[in-house]
Chain A
Amino acid sequence: MKKINLGTIVLYILLAVGGLIMIFPFIWMLISSMKTWAECGSMPPTWWPKDPTLENYVYAFKTAPFLKYFRNSLIVTVLCTGITMFNTILCAFTFSRLRFPGRDIIFSIMVSLMMIPYEMLIITNYTTIVKMGLYDTLAALIIPFTSSIFYTYILRNFFLSIPDSLYYSARIDGASNWQYLWNVMVPIAKPSLVTIGLLNALTCWNSFMWSILVVGSVNNRTLPFGLFAFTDQAGIRFERLMAGSSIVVIPVIILFLFCRKQIVTGVSKGGLKG
């Protein structure tokens, strides 16, 4: 039998406590969302709702079109991430594999652009979007975020670590640059790409400030904005607010549970080298 020593026990207790602290707000959110108003505000708080109800969810769906918000969020996230990944892959390949005059200078300039804080770009991006006539459309949420220097930088460094001999080998095997990129480089870089994709998708999914600025109508709201608007409608009815929050959070949790394996290996294996 495997020996269990004191250190391991202490370690596991600490981890369990940490885990509980992390998960508690979520559990509390779910529990509260099933309470009545009276119970929700009662002191001392009850652990389990005396009379569990789904009424708050019904209310939330009735008052705010969460399904529409969800659909909008999904469209924005998928398109943003997809286009960003495509651009990132091409850009990283260009700056790691192809040789042309001024390549390193152009790349240095690009990297130095990362120094500009996001907040500074908001106003210029806003005017651009308005001038393009895209105010209050989903496109306004997508177009400004279809490329990323940071991800390009990470991926380029990963591409640089792939030995030259693979490239030459593929070229001699008859592959063009394009075929080499998609048949060899991208599959090898899969762990890195998963990590980048996930980070990007999370950022998109949670993006809040920008959507408040460029989207007005209910039809084009994404989940974070929708939830924010819902707080007005729900007022101080916390149990309704918690139901709304649960609606926003649950799909992401389900997604995580399904993709957990890829996410964990992606982050630990490819990691963020560079």
Chain B
Amino acid sequence: MKVTIKDLTKRFASRDKTGETVTAVDTLSAEFESGKLIALLGPSGCGKSTMLNMLSGILPVTSGKIYFDDKDVTELSPDKREVGLVFQNYALYPHMTVLENICFPLKIKKVRKEERIAKAVEIAKMVHIEDYLKRLPKELSGGQQQRVAIARALVKQPKLLLLDEPLSNLDAKLRIEMREEIRRIQRESGVTTVFVTHDQEEATSISDYILLMKLGVMQQFSATRDIYNNPANLFVADFIGNPTINQIHGVYVNGGIKPDGSDEIIPCSIKANENDRVVLAVRPESVLFEGGQTTGTVNDMYSSGKDWLVNFNIGDTELRGYCDADYNVQEGSVIKVGFRDKGQFLFNEETGERY
């Protein structure tokens, strides 16, 4: 099912009763393609969970519209929206067994007992929890509980599956395992899925599209690959990528950037207005340690397995770049570096907009 969001806005009354309002989501418009996995990404408090809750119908919208396919569901109550929702804490019914939990949505729909058990078992097999049907939620591990929650959300065959920070309660190893599971389950069921996360790695590793938000405003909505290779603004470039993107603040002069605290000019193929304050952002893998013209001083080196992460300075700015393991430098070495065109972006320092 295709989801269309139009000028969606949510304002909350502020807590201190001054009558002021806080805008959690600000005139956001987007269209989620059918059958895709979409990540709502952003730092805490950016309004991504609010978005999810509006999609599910738990939170009424202040203004704007939500369409499922062509149907306006803005005013529809959660029980009529045919969505499945998995909460961060899974929200399993503690007094029911796994089977009863999964059956619950069907029981409410008054599906016949044999039929609902058959369906529940089928879904349980898909999420690999068929061996635990008789247990209570508290007798399961975090990963298993989450599978149950997903099964319960999927059993009524929702048109839209919503996951609210589904992995944040799991330990690191299980998290990676479960995100692949979510990917697999989403592929197998083919249901349009929206999931909320603050972890950019989680978002980039499994989603088809990423919608990145900051303070209630959509920053960028594009295919996962594009958001890394083609960030719309400085915030997006900074938020996506690990290690984070290098930022060189300086002035744009003579077709290059004069970094603060250095007299050298870094040549740059991207055009900006003369004397603008700019930020040159470069991905660590786009730093070249051979054939460059800019002088840098090595601070530190870390092995990251197959290659090295070199920490160096240009003027006052600290940067990081990847180099081959056989590249021979020491702490304090003066090196010449350059930047590849790919993975190099120029932003206006004040507005953060990309040139």
Residues of A bordering B, CB below 8 Å: 163, 165-166, 168-176, 179, 183-184, 187-188, 190
- Total interface residues on B, CB under 8 Å, equals 27
Say how far A270's CB is from chain B's closest CB, in angstroms.
13
Say how far A171's CB is from chain B's closest CB, in angstroms.
5
Contacts of A170 in B (CB 8 A): 93, 104
Say how far B124's CB is from chain A's closest CB, in angstroms.
16
Contacts of A171 in B (CB 8 A): 57-58, 77-79
Contacts of B95 in A (CB 8 A): 184, 187-188, 190
Q: Is the CB of A166 within 8 A of B78?
A: no
Say how far B19's CB is from chain A's closest CB, in angstroms.
17
Say how far B295's CB is from chain A's closest CB, in angstroms.
56
Say how far B189's CB is from chain A's closest CB, in angstroms.
17
Q: Is the CB of A172 within 8 A of B79?
A: yes
Contacts of B105 in A (CB 8 A): 173-174
Q: Is the CB of A165 within 8 A of B89?
A: yes
Nearest residue (CB) in A for B105 is A173
Contacts of B87 in A (CB 8 A): 165, 168-169
A176 CA to B81 CA, complexed, in Å: 13
Complex interface residues of chain B between 67 and 96 (CB less than 8 A to chain A): 77-79, 81, 83-85, 87-89, 91, 93-96
**B15: interface (CB < 8 Å):** no
| A172-B83 CB under 8 A given contacts A179-B108, A183-B104 | yes
Contacts of B81 in A (CB 8 A): 172
A163 CA to B96 CA, complexed, in Å: 16
Most buried by A among B79, B81, B109: B79
**B10: interface (CB < 8 Å):** no
**B193: interface (CB < 8 Å):** no
| A168-B91 CB under 8 A given contacts A173-B156, A179-B108 | yes
**B344: interface (CB < 8 Å):** no
| A168-B56 CB under 8 A given contacts A174-B79, A179-B108, A188-B95 | yes
Contacts of B93 in A (CB 8 A): 166, 170, 184, 188
The 4 closest A-B pairs by CB, nearest first: A165-B91, A173-B105, A169-B91, A165-B87
**B152: interface (CB < 8 Å):** yes
Nearest residue (CB) in A for B152 is A173
Q: Is the CB of A172 within 8 A of B57?
A: yes
